[in-house]
């Protein structure tokens, strides 16, 4: 298997995009290709991550449309869909294309234009990834699943309501330092939880989750360029090596899990990624986790192996996951505040980590970051992809 590196990074500011889904994907794709400085090397393949173009944008074959817009034909191209883990799945497909030798230079672009539909339609669209007969048909949505999950998690694993708020406050604070983030808004414990106005500022969505526990509905796109490690070195680019990718599935319906508070697919995917990278959670300097809901950052940080089960809340209290802490989590602002354009998210996480490893993350830079970890969480934990990136040289 050939070693693979990330040699180019690009991103839109998340939030609301004008134009079409394909329009939105052009700028980050061009930025990543310019950043990669591939010179005479042509782009061999374009892998697009997108979940809902067919439904919410009346656009299929997005990868072919993007190739056309960027005049990259006859490059190979396809779209990968994997629910909210579409971004990392597309990255994995691009990685395997390079690793297998089928392609040298691969552009991976993830994007979603979710604000083309209203919030209710967006919620229903996202719910279409739940179990068709055991969940979706009964009106389950992702926030309702997350609410039930949170309640059980609080009962069993020492998480209190304030810890959820701490995750939101931290990620909003980080996002203010990220020019690509959807939300640039400082929030406080008083404002969202303890003051008399908190229930108005921060209304209930799915008890105990409130508005500031849930990611926004965002448009956005992010791009990466992959190449064989030796080509990356030859081009003289800062080299971010893809040290290991792990993926795992779990029961589609959440209620079928022996212990629904254990995210088995997170555990297996993370173990697989660490095994391939020959690293452990202790070696990681910065992580991007999939905090579509605040509880998920807490649960994933435990099941990925960064904290023992039931210990993440205390770590958050101590500031260990804040910028400047021992393991900064979601320096980008995470899904919570950078935003969550579904197909883009997994790519955006890796883009943020590539910037961090290259020392190009500006005000949110984690000093001395050499090893990084991303977790892209599909469904409600039924399809998870973990990726370990390592700075070379």
For residues 215 and 263, which CB has a smaller minimum distance to a second copy in the complex?
A: 263
Tell whether residue 288 is a contact of a second copy (CB under 8 A). Answer: no
Q: Which residue in the set 192, 253, 277, 386 belongs to the binding site for a second copy (CB under 8 A)?
A: 253
3-state secondary structure of 108: strand
Q: Which residue in the set 55, 151, 161, 162 belongs to the binding site for a second copy (CB under 8 A)?
A: 55
For the bound state, the minimum distance from the C-beta of residue 238 to a second copy, rounded and expressed in Å, comes to 24
Tokens of 139: 């009106």
Q: Which residue in the set 131, 170, 358, 364 belongs to the binding site for a second copy (CB under 8 A)?
A: 131
Q: Which residue in the set 9, 17, 26, 51 belongs to the binding site for a second copy (CB under 8 A)?
A: 51
For residues 378 and 126, give the distance between their C-alpha atoms in angstroms, rounded to a whole number.
11
Q: For residue 70, what are the contacts with CB-CB under 8 A and spacing of at least 6?
A: 26, 29, 30, 33, 46
For residues 110 and 238, which CB has a smaller minimum distance to a second copy in the complex?
A: 110
For residues 163 and 340, which CB has a smaller minimum distance to a second copy in the complex?
A: 340
Tokens of 211: 């508005």
Tell whether residue 64 is a contact of a second copy (CB under 8 A). Answer: yes
For residues 82 and 332, which CB has a smaller minimum distance to a second copy in the complex?
A: 82
For the bound state, the minimum distance from the C-beta of residue 136 to a second copy, rounded and expressed in Å, comes to 8
Tell whether residue 1 is a contact of a second copy (CB under 8 A). Answer: yes
45-83 CB burial, b ≥16 within 10 A, e <16: bbbbbbbbbeebbebeebbbbbbeebebeebbbebbbbb
Q: Which helix (H) or strand (E) holds 310?
A: none
For residues 22 and 344, which CB has a smaller minimum distance to a second copy in the complex?
A: 22
CA 325 to mean position of chain CA atoms:
21
Taking every pair of Cα atoms in the chain, the longest distance, rounded to a whole number of angstroms, is 62
Q: Which of residues 349-388 bind a second copy (CB under 8 A)?
A: 378-379, 382-383
Q: Which helix (H) or strand (E) holds 242?
A: strand 239-249
For the bound state, the minimum distance from the C-beta of residue 227 to a second copy, rounded and expressed in Å, comes to 15
Taking residues 80 to 119 in sequence order and writing x for each that binds a second copy by CB under 8 A, - otherwise, the string is: xxxx--x--x--xx--xx-xxxx-----------------
Tell whether residue 125 is a contact of a second copy (CB under 8 A). Answer: yes
For residues 274 and 146, give the distance between their C-alpha atoms in angstroms, rounded to a whole number.
27
For the bound state, the minimum distance from the C-beta of residue 90 to a second copy, rounded and expressed in Å, comes to 8
Closest CA to 376 of 355, 350, 338, 351: 350
For residues 32 and 11, give the distance between their C-alpha atoms in angstroms, rounded to a whole number.
8
Tell whether residue 337 is a contact of a second copy (CB under 8 A). Answer: no
Ramachandran region of residue 330, left (φ > 0), alpha (ψ -120 to 50) or beta?
Answer: left
DSSP per position, 374-387: EEEEETTTTEEEEE
Tell whether residue 79 is a contact of a second copy (CB under 8 A). Answer: yes
For residues 20 and 29, which CB has a smaller minimum distance to a second copy in the complex?
A: 20
For the bound state, the minimum distance from the C-beta of residue 7 to a second copy, rounded and expressed in Å, comes to 19
Tell whether residue 166 is a contact of a second copy (CB under 8 A). Answer: no
For residues 217 and 248, which CB has a smaller minimum distance to a second copy in the complex?
A: 248
For residues 59 and 50, give the distance between their C-alpha atoms in angstroms, rounded to a whole number.
10
- What 8-state DSSP symbol labels residue 195? S
Tell whether residue 389 is a contact of a second copy (CB under 8 A). Answer: no
Tell whether residue 123 is a contact of a second copy (CB under 8 A). Answer: no
Ramachandran region of residue 199, left (φ > 0), alpha (ψ -120 to 50) or beta?
Answer: alpha
Closest CA to 248 of 142, 110, 381, 87: 381
Stretch that binds a second copy, among 121-129, 201-209, 292-300, 352-360 (CB under 8 A): 121-129
Tell whether residue 22 is a contact of a second copy (CB under 8 A). Answer: yes
Taking residues 294 to 333 in sequence order and writing x for each that binds a second copy by CB under 8 A, - otherwise, the string is: ----------------------------------------
For residues 330 and 323, give the distance between their C-alpha atoms in angstroms, rounded to a whole number.
9
Edge-first strand order for the sheet with 286-288 is 45-49, 106-113, 219-228, 4-11, 239-249, 383-392, 371-378, 286-288
Tell whether residue 242 is a contact of a second copy (CB under 8 A). Answer: no
Residues that bind a second copy (CB under 8 A): 1, 20, 22, 50-55, 58-65, 67-69, 72-83, 86, 89, 92-93, 96-97, 99-102, 125, 128-129, 131-133, 136, 245, 247-253, 264-265, 268-269, 378-379, 382-383
């Amino acid at each position: 298997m050939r070693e693979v590196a990330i040699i180019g990074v690009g991103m839109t500011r998340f939030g609301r995009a004008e134009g079409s889904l394909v329009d939105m994907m052009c700028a980050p794709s061009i930025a990543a290709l310019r950043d990669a400085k591939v010179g005479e090397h042509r782009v061999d393949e374009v892998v697009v991550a997108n979940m809902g173009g067919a439904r919410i944008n009346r656009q299929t074959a997005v990868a072919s449309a993007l190739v056309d817009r960027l005049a990259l034909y006859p490059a190979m191209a396809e779209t990968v869909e994997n629910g909210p883990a579409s971004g990392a799945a597309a990255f994995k497909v691009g990685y395997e294309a390079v690793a297998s030798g089928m392609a040298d230079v691969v552009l991976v672009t993830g994007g979603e234009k979710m604000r083309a539909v209203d919030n209710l339609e967006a919620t229903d669209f996202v719910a279409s990834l739940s179990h068709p007969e055991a969940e979706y048909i009964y009106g389950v949505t992702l926030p309702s699943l997350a609410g039930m999950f949170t309640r059980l998690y609080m009962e069993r694993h020492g998480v209190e309501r304030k810890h959820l708020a701490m995750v939101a406050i931290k990620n909003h604070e980080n996002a203010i330092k990220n020019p690509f983030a959807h939300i640039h808004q400082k929030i406080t414990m008083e404002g969202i939880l303890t003051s008399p106005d908190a229930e108005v500022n921060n209304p209930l969505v799915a008890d105990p989750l409130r508005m500031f526990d849930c990611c926004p509905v965002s448009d956005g796109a992010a791009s990466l360029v992959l190449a064989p490690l030796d080509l990356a070195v030859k081009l003289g680019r800062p080299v971010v090596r893809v040290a290991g990718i792990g993926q795992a599935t779990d029961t589609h319906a959440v209620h079928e899990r022996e212990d629904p508070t254990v995210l088995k697919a997170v555990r297996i995917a993370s173990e697989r990624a660490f095994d391939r990278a020959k690293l452990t959670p202790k070696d990681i300097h910065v992580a991007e986790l999939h905090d579509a809901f605040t509880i998920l950052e807490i649960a994933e940080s435990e099941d990925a192996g960064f904290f023992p089960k039931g210990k993440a809340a205390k770590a958050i209290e101590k500031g260990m996951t804040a910028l400047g802490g021992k393991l900064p989590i979601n320096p980008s602002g995470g899904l919570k505040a950078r935003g969550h354009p579904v197909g883009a998210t997994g790519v955006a996480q890796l883009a943020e980590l590539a910037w961090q490893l290259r020392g190009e993350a500006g005000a949110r830079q984690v000093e001395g970051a050499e090893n990084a970890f991303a977790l892209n969480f599909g469904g409600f934990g039924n399809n998870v992809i973990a990726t370990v990136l390592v700075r070379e040289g």
